[in-house]
Amino acid sequence: MKRILLPLIITMFCFMNVSAQDTLFKRNGQIIVAKVVEVSPDLVKYTFPDKKDSLVIGMDRDDLKKIVFASGMVQWIVPELTNPENYTDQKKKDLKFDFLSPILNHLTLTYEKSVKPGLSWESSMTWVGPGFSKDLEKAGGIIIGAGVKFIKTPDYYQRGMRYSHILKGSYLRLQGYLGYYEESWGNNTPWIYNSNIVNQYTVFAIHTQFGRQWVVNDSFLFDIFAGLGYGIVSHTSNSPYNYDSNNDLGYHYTFVGIGLGPLSISGGLRIGFLF
């Protein structure tokens, strides 16, 4: 009896092992039942062992969402372009300085942190007052900013493609500003007859900004951008003259009204370092 059962068990085991199938789940929803013979950084190779003269077929690894092996093990596939493991040796934070801000009587610093490839968030602080203005006798206040940056991915895919740096490239940023500041004018301004006039501003803006950021040697960066959006300005003053906020063409340190209701523009040139 043992002589009969032992060969039978071995035959059944070999049959089950040969017929064991793996399942490939593609990103387009297609499911392929086959036998995976190789998983490389670029390709997944498989065969159909139940067919005669079955060829080895290669599929781009990034076309797959996951592989479920016959053993029950599941391997999830992350596209190389957005795989965080490809950028582990890169610095993912930076601190930027608005290069033109001191000329315009303020100081702006921006902190950026990468969330994942193609996405980062930023927060900024603008101190009104520091700078080289000769007209303002006194100015002071703070405007805070926050934004989400979407870094552009390639329009086409090429095997092995990835960001040269996780923070480098063209981007679209959704940016918000909120702050308060005061200004008073000096006697050297000829059209001001009362040097005790103080203007108080509360500002709020939401902008869509387009820009490009360059990273040099994973250490330094240059960032240039321009944007368009809505800005709301609340103004109070001890001036005897009437003020119409709808006609305000003023520069509010983080954005500029352009005279079409709440429409406003923004822009800047930033330099910084990564850490």
d(CA 147, CA 174): 5
pLDDT score at 192: 47
CA distances from 126 to 31, 45, 241, 253 (A): 53, 55, 29, 8
pLDDT score at 157: 59
pLDDT score at 98: 97
Q: Token pair for residue 121?
A: 């968030």
In which order are the strands placed within the sheet that holds 22-26?
57-60, 43-47, 31-39, 22-26, 64-68, 74-76
Judge whether 188 and 133 are in contact, CB under 8 Å: no
One-letter amino acid of 206? I
pLDDT score at 155: 64
pLDDT score at 147: 97
* Distance from the Cα of residue 266 to its chain's centroid: 19
Q: Give pTM, 2 decimals.
A: 0.76
21-77 maps to which CATH number? 2.30.30
Domain coordinates of the chain in residue numbers?
21-77, 85-274
Sign of the four-CA dihedral 43, 48, 49, 55:
negative
pLDDT score at 13: 47
CATH topology of domain 85-274: Porin (2.40.160)
One-letter amino acid of 210? F
- Successive 10-residue mean pLDDT values, the chain, 275 residues: 54 52 93 92 88 83 92 90 89 97 93 96 95 71 97 71 88 98 67 64 96 97 97 83 54 86 92 98
